[in-house]
Structure 1
Amino acid sequence: MSGSPVRPTTHVARHGLGHLRPKLHFSPSAGFMNDPNGLLHDGERYHLYYQFAPGPLAVHGHICWGHALAEDLYHWHDAPTAIRETADGQAFSGCALIDHRNDSGLFAGPGPQNIVAIYTRHRDGRQNQWLAISQDGGLDFEEPAGINPVLDIGSDSFRDPKVFFHAPSGRWIMVVALARAHRIGFYGSGDLLHWQALSEFGPEGMLGIDYECPNLVELDIEGGGRRWVLIISINPGAPQGGSGSQYFVGDFDGERFVPDPQGLRLLDAGKDHYAIQVVEGLPSDQATGIGWLGNWQYCQEVPSEGWRGVMTLPRGLGLRRDWMGGLSLVQHVRGLEPLRVPIARPRIDSSLMPDQPLTDLDLPVDAAVELLLRFHLESLPTAPPGRGGRLVLCFGNAQGERLEIGYDAASHQLWTDRGELRGFSHPFFSQRSAIALGPDRREVRLQLIIDGCSLEMLAQDGEYSMSSMIYPAAPLDRLAIYVEAGQAGFGQLELNRLQSTLTRS
C-alpha cells in the first residue's frame, strides 16, 4: 500500500509574500529566472543576461535571454528580451564578449561596440552552439544568415559555452559542457565562427548526472602569482543535494587544462548557489562573478507572486593559500561600501549567563541587512561532554520563527539552520548546512547579508561561502546573539542597513 505523495507546502501569514522580494539582489520583475548568461562590461555599463521563462506561472520553459543593465552591478534596470526562442530552439546558457578586432568579420570594422553572444540552442533532443551579434549596444541580437550553428557535434547534452580571448595563443577559447559524459570540451578559433577541438577534461571530481555551466578564468593569488581555475556546476548529485558547483586549480597552456593534485573544492557549502559566471571585459585584477541563488530540486516550487529566481551579489574572485598549503578560491562582495547605513555597533558583555542573549537588536523589515562579526571563542570546562562552546546568531520574529547561524569551537564548524522558518516546506528543502573552517580557527570573521528570501554568508575574509534561500512566513525583525558553554571576545560587531537598489512590486 503506497502512502500519499509528499507535496511542497507554503504557509504565508497575513504579511503575504512581499517581504520575500529582495531589495538589493537582482530578481526578475515577473517570470522564472535561472543561470546568469553573458555577463559583460562594455566599457561603460554592465550587462546581465540571464535564462528567462516569461509568463505568470514562473516555471522553466520556452527559455530566452532576459537582460538588465547597470553602471555599478547594483542599480539594475530592465531591458527588453535580448535573444528569443525561435523555430531553431530555446536559447539556453552561454556568454557575451566584445569582438574588438572584428575577428568574426561580422561588423563594419574594429571597435568596442562589437558585442557577440555565443549560446546553446536546444530543440528536440539536439543541443548545439549558436552565434548572434548586436549592433545597438547589446540590447538586441540577430543571428547572421548562413553561419549557425557554429559548433555541432550531434549531441543531445552539449551546452553552456563560455568564450574568452587567450592572448598567449592568440585565439579564442571556448569551454563547453559535454554534460552527460562528464567532460568539459576545449575548443579554439581565430574568428569565432570555426572551432577546432583542442582537448577534454574529465570525468573528474563530483560527477552527478550532468556537468553544466563551465568557466575558466585566470585569478590572482594573494601575495603574488596567478593560476587558472576551472569551475564546473553539476546537477543533480551535489553533496548538499541537487545542484552545486565545484572548482579545480591548475594550469592552462591555451590547449589543455591540467589540475593540481589537491583535488576538487566546493565553490559554496550552502544548498543554493549555482552556475556562477565571470564577468567578461574587466581588468584581470578585478575578476568578478555572479551566480544563481537556487537549487533545481525545488526552485520551481518556492513561494511566488508571479516571479521566481534571485542572483547573488557580485563577488570579487581570487586565490589564497589555505592551511593545507593548497590554493582556495576567495570570494568577497564587491561594491557594498556606498550602500551601508549603520544601525548598531553594540558593545557586548560576554560574561552574561549562557541562557541570556548577549545582545538583542531590532532589524529593519523593509531593507537588506548586513552583519559584520569578528569574535574569538573558547570552550568552558563546564561544556557538556562531546561538544564545545558555541556562538549562535538567532534571527527571529514574534511568530516564533527562527533562522539560526552558529559556530562550534570544538569542531571548528559553521552552520545554518532554516528549519524553524514556516514559509516553505519541501522534501528536498534541507534544513541545515555546515562547513568546517579548518583546525584551530577559534577566531572567526563573518559577513552575513539577508535580503528578502536570500542569505549570503562569507567566512574568514571570503575563504568560505555558504548561500541559502530562506522563506519565513513573516519578516525577521529581531537579532539575538547567544554564547553557550563558552567565552567569547568580540573584535567587531556591526549591523548595517543596505540601501535598496532594485525597485520591484
Structure 2
Amino acid sequence: MTEKKNDCVFSKVSRQHRPSVHFTPPTGFMNDPNGLVFDGAQYHLYYQHNPSAAYSADICWGHATSTDLLSWKDQPIALPNTVDGQAFSGCALLDHENSSGLFANCHGTNLVALYTRSLPTRQSQYLAISHNNGQSFEEYPGNPVLDIDNPNFRDPQVIYHAPSRKWVMVIAEVEKHRIGFYGSTDLIHWTHLSHFGPAGLPTVNYECPNLVQVRDESGDLRWVLFVSINPGSPMGGSVTQYFIGDFDGAVFTPSDGILRLFDFAKDSYAMQVYSNLPAGEAVTLAWMGNWQYCQELPTQDWRGAMSLPRDLSIRQDPNGYPRLVQKPRGVEKLRRALSCEHAVYLPKDTHRTVSLPKGKAIEVVIRLTADEPRQTETTQTGFQSNRFELAFANDEGEKLSVGYDLSSTQIWLDRSKLRGFDHPFFTGRFAAPINTAFYDNARSLDLHLFLDGCAFEVYANEHLETGTALVYPEKPLDMLRLSTEGLGFTIDSLETYTLDKTMRRDTL
C-alpha cells in the first residue's frame, strides 16, 4: 500500500512539473540532445535515453520529430543499447551525394548517424545509416570507423567543409582536455588533422564538442567551437564554453583568449546545433540539466528536459568583443495574450500583483527604465538599494524571481525560495552583468522570460545574457509580482502570454 501511495505522489509531482512546450521524454531518463538534423521536411531530435528508469544507464538514442521544433511526435528507439556498448552521444547528417557509397541511390535523404559506442574500458566511433528517414538505423558492418584504444574518447560531431571537400569530425579526448579534429572523404576512413586545447576553464572532462558557422551582425559567417565541460563550471557541475575563431579545414584558431560561457545559470548543457540548415542559420537545443543532481530530481517517473529552440547569431558587445546572441525560435505562434501594458509607473518601494493561470506555460516580455538615482538618499547603512524585482509566486510564500540591481548593473535569478527540491548542489542564486550601452537610456533593461513546468529560461540585454534553470515549487506559481526598492521604475512595456501547443504531442 505504501508503495502505491508513493507512486501517486510521484505521479502528481511529475504532472505538476512536466513542461508543455519544452520537450521531455515520455518516461525514463533523458540527457544530451543527439543527431539534430533537418531532413528538408521535419526536424529530428535524437537524445540520450534510458526508457526503463529515470537515471542514466543502458543508454540508447530516443527519437522525436517535429515540423516546428515546438510540437513533437515521439518515435521508436532509433539506436539501441547493444553488446557492443551503450549508444552515447553523436550526430546525424545527410550524405546528399552518397560519398559513403552505402546508399542505393546517389541522391536522396541518405541519413547517417555517427556516434560513440561505450563500454567500461573502451569508447569507439560507430557509423549507421537509415533506409526509412531516420526511424531506425542499420549499423555499418565494418564498425568501429574510428578507435584510438581509449576509454574516454567520445561525442563525435561531423560537418562538411566545402573548401577542402571533406567531412570533418570534432570529438572529445575527454581526460586530455582537448578536442580532436579528423578528416574523411567517405565518412568511413578517418585521418587525424589537429588538436585544440586545453583551453578555457580548468576542468575534469571535455565533452560534446560542436563546430559550426554562425552569422554576425555584418552578415559574415564566423566559426564557433562549443565545448561542454563536466565538472568544472564556475557555478558548479557542468557548463558549455565557446570559442570564436577561424577554421581552415584542419585547424581551429581562436580569435582571442577570452573565455565565454553559453549560460550564466546552471542547467544548460551539451548543446548541439542542427545540421542541414541554410548557410549561416544556426539553431540549437540544449539539455536542461546538471550532472550534480540530474538523477535525483523529484520527477521520478521521468527526468530531463530540452531548452526551447534558439536561433544563434553573433554581435559585438559594448566592449567590442564578439558574443553569442540566443533568441527563442518560433514561440510567437504559440502565444495567447494575457495582458499588454505600456508606460506604467511603479513608485519606489511598491509592489503590484497579477494573477496567472495554473498549469500553463507563461511568457513575459518586459522593458523598464529606472528613475534617476538621487545621491542624497541614504539608509541606516549609508547605502541605498535601487532594485526592480519580477517574481513568480504563490500564497505559500514561494517565489522565483528575476531582478535588476541598478547600482551594480547586474541581473539576478533566484530559485532559492522554492521548496519542491532540496539538494546540496542545487544552487539557488545566479547573476550576470548588464552593459547598458545597448540602450538609449543607461537606466533601461529588457527581460524575456519563460516559465513552463520545471523549465525556466531568462534572456536579457537584447538576448546577450541567457540563464537556464530547473525550478521545483511545492505548489504552482500562480501570481506575478512586480516590486521596486529604493527608487521608481517605469514599465515601458509589459506583455504576458500563455503558450499553447499548435498540435497535441503524439506518443507512440
TM over 0.5: yes
Structure 2 match to 1:395: 392
Q: How many Å separate the matches in 1 of 2:460 and 2:103?
A: 46
Matched, 1:492 2:493: yes
TM-score by length of 1: 0.94
Cα RMSD for the two superposed structures: 1.7
Q: How many Å separate the matches in 1 of 2:327 and 2:194?
A: 32
The answer as to whether partners of 1:380 and 1:485 remain within 8 angstroms in 2 is no
Q: How many Å separate the matches in 2 of 1:13 and 1:90?
A: 28
Structure 2 match to 1:417: 414
Matched, 1:462 2:463: yes
Q: How many Å separate the matches in 2 of 1:39 and 1:393?
A: 35
The answer as to whether partners of 2:17 and 2:299 remain within 8 angstroms in 1 is no
1:106 CA displacement: 0.4
Q: How many Å separate the matches in 1 of 2:140 and 2:12?
A: 50
Counterparts of residues 49-448 of structure 1 (less than 5 Å) = 49-55=46-52, 57-145=53-141, 147-347=142-342, 349-354=344-349, 356-357=350-351, 359-378=352-371, 379-381=373-375, 382=377, 384=379, 385-386=382-383, 388-438=385-435, 441-448=442-449
Q: How many Å separate the matches in 2 of 1:144 and 1:353?
A: 67
Structure 2 match to 1:5: none
The residue matched to 1:107 in structure 2 has which SS?
coil
Structure 2 match to 1:6: none
Q: How many Å separate the matches in 2 of 1:502 and 1:418?
A: 30
Change in CA separation of 1:298 and 1:351 when aligned onto 2, cut-off 3 Å: closer
1:109 CA displacement: 2.4
Q: How many Å separate the matches in 2 of 1:213 and 1:394?
A: 34
Matched, 1:471 2:472: yes
Q: How many residues align?
A: 490
1:261 CA displacement: 1.5
Q: Residues 223-261 of structure 1: CA distance to partner in whole angstroms, max 9, x if unpaired?
A: 232211000000011011000010000000111000012
Q: How many Å separate the matches in 2 of 1:15 and 1:380?
A: 50
Q: How many Å separate the matches in 1 of 2:10 and 2:353?
A: 24
The answer as to whether partners of 1:390 and 1:407 remain within 8 angstroms in 2 is yes
Name which of structure 1's ranges 18-27 and 439-448 shifts more when overlaid on structure 2.
439-448
The answer as to whether partners of 2:326 and 2:464 remain within 8 angstroms in 1 is yes
Question: Could you tell me which amino acid in structure 2 is paired with residue 68 of structure 1?
Answer: A
The answer as to whether partners of 1:350 and 1:483 remain within 8 angstroms in 2 is no
The answer as to whether partners of 2:346 and 2:490 remain within 8 angstroms in 1 is no
Change in CA separation of 1:66 and 1:196 when aligned onto 2, cut-off 3 Å: same
1:313 CA displacement: 0.6
Sequence identity of aligned pairs in percent? 47
1:410 CA displacement: 1.1
Q: How many Å separate the matches in 2 of 1:351 and 1:380?
A: 17
Give the gaps of 5 or more residues in structure 2.
1-8
1:201 CA displacement: 0.3
Give the gaps of 5 or more residues in structure 1.
1-11
Q: How many Å separate the matches in 2 of 1:302 and 1:371?
A: 26
Structure 2 match to 1:7: none
Counterparts of residues 43-54 of structure 1 (less than 5 Å) = 43-54=40-51
